[in-house]
Amino acid sequence: MTATAESAAPRTSAPSGPAPRALRRDRAKINWWLTALVAVCSLTVLIPLYLAVVTALKTPDQLGGTGFELPVGARWENFAEAWTTVKFPRALLNIALVTVGAVLLTLLTNSMVAYAIARNLHRKFFKGLYLYFIAALFVPFPIILLSVVKETAILGLDNQLGLILLYTVYGLSFNIFVYVAYIRSIPLELEEAALTDGASTWTIFWRIIFPLLGPMNATVGILTCLWAWNDFLLPLVILSDPAAQTLPLAQFIFQGQFNTNYPVAFASYLLALAPLLLVYLFAQRWVVSGVMRGSTK
């Protein structure tokens, strides 16, 4: 698969920079029917979001009908009400803390473990370790669910810190898979040169290898961020203190209170979806090419 990755990399990393002549030739041959078809298909993605926005701005008595009608005079108070009802700032802070913590810890530890494994795959112990971690990819979460909850409760990890730790540990299987493939494509010469200069393996990893992992770190970081931010089951079972609730969990817990008031509920959904959506709007190209890079490895 490495060969395919190399040929894909330049195209995905430079989406806007083909040679000017190639661009002109492409433009001449644009298939407008296909463009229109893709545009219509993309509506399926946008329609639910549109529905969420218009509903969030209505008053309850405007609801009726199909729900797609535009609101008569936007009711922004819905957002204010949702903000306080779901204790939005607290949930946002929790989820941000867990996500940032999980991403940082994952990048720092998983890459290091992968490095040790990648450079020693010819040794039985490391080969076994590699297979041991990868095998966990096949274990469905529900089988460990109940025991993990007991364990974290006993260890006092039924909080945000526990979540950070669990995302880092459970991400290991997949991340090692991606990192090891990438590290093995880095030539050994650099490390050997540093070794003869008397650098320790730690120094070599942090000063030479870790910076070289940049693109893979981006991929792993993006995937970990999306996972930790949107995950629902793990916070649902792990967190015992209501004050530790994350965004999706808060939506679930407060769902009952919205039963009669859809506009406020939808305002709170939008509040919960907005932070990552905003980040995505600005980092869209980078995020998508990061995910594509991970898949060709």
Partner 1 sequence: MSTLTRPNVGRKTPRVFYFMVLPALVIFAVFHTVPLLSGIYFSFTNYAGYGEWSFVGLSNYINLFRDDRILNAYGFTFLFAIVSTIAVNVISLAVAIALNGRIKFKTGFRGIFFIPNILSILIVGYVFNYLFSNSVPAIAEALGINALTTSILAGADTAWIGVVILSVWQAAAFNIIIYLAGLQTIGGELYEAASLDGASSWRQFRSITFPLIGAFFTINMVLSLKNFLQVFDQIVSLTAGGPGTSTESISLLIYRGGFEGGEYGYQTANAVIYLIVIIAISFVQLRILQRREASF
Is 12 a binding residue for partner 1 by CB under 8 A? The answer is yes
Residue 76 or 141: the one with the smaller Cβ distance to partner 1 is 141
What x/- string results for residues 183 through 202 when contact with partner 1 is judged by CB under 8 A? -x--xx--xx--x----xxx
The CB density around residue 290, as the number of other CB atoms within 10 Å, is 21
C-alpha 167/C-alpha 221 separation (Å) is 12
C-alpha 169/C-alpha 201 separation (Å) is 23
Binding footprint of partner 1, residue count (CB under 8 A): 107
Q: Quick one: which of 181, 204, 180, 206 has its CA closest to 192?
A: 204
Q: Show contacts with partner 1 in window 209-248 (CB under 8 A).
A: 226, 229-230, 232-233, 237, 247-248
Residue 12 or 74: the one with the smaller Cβ distance to partner 1 is 12
Query: CB of residue 34 vs partner 1: minimum separation in angstroms?
Result: 5
Q: Show contacts with partner 1 in window 21-50 (CB under 8 A).
A: 26, 29-32, 34-35, 37-39, 41-42, 44-46, 48-49
What x/- string results for residues 251 through 290 when contact with partner 1 is judged by CB under 8 A? xx--x------x--xx--x--xx--xx--x---xx-xx--
For residue 45, what is the enclosing H or E element? helix 32-56
CB 196 within 8 A of CB 204: no
Residue 75 or 119: the one with the smaller Cβ distance to partner 1 is 119
Q: Show contacts with partner 1 in window 50-69 (CB under 8 A).
A: 51-52, 55, 63-68
Q: Write the CB contacts of 293 (distance below 8 Å, at least 6 apart in sequence).
A: 5, 8, 9, 12, 13, 215, 216, 218, 219
Q: Quick one: which of 104, 218, 114 has its CA closest to 176?
A: 114
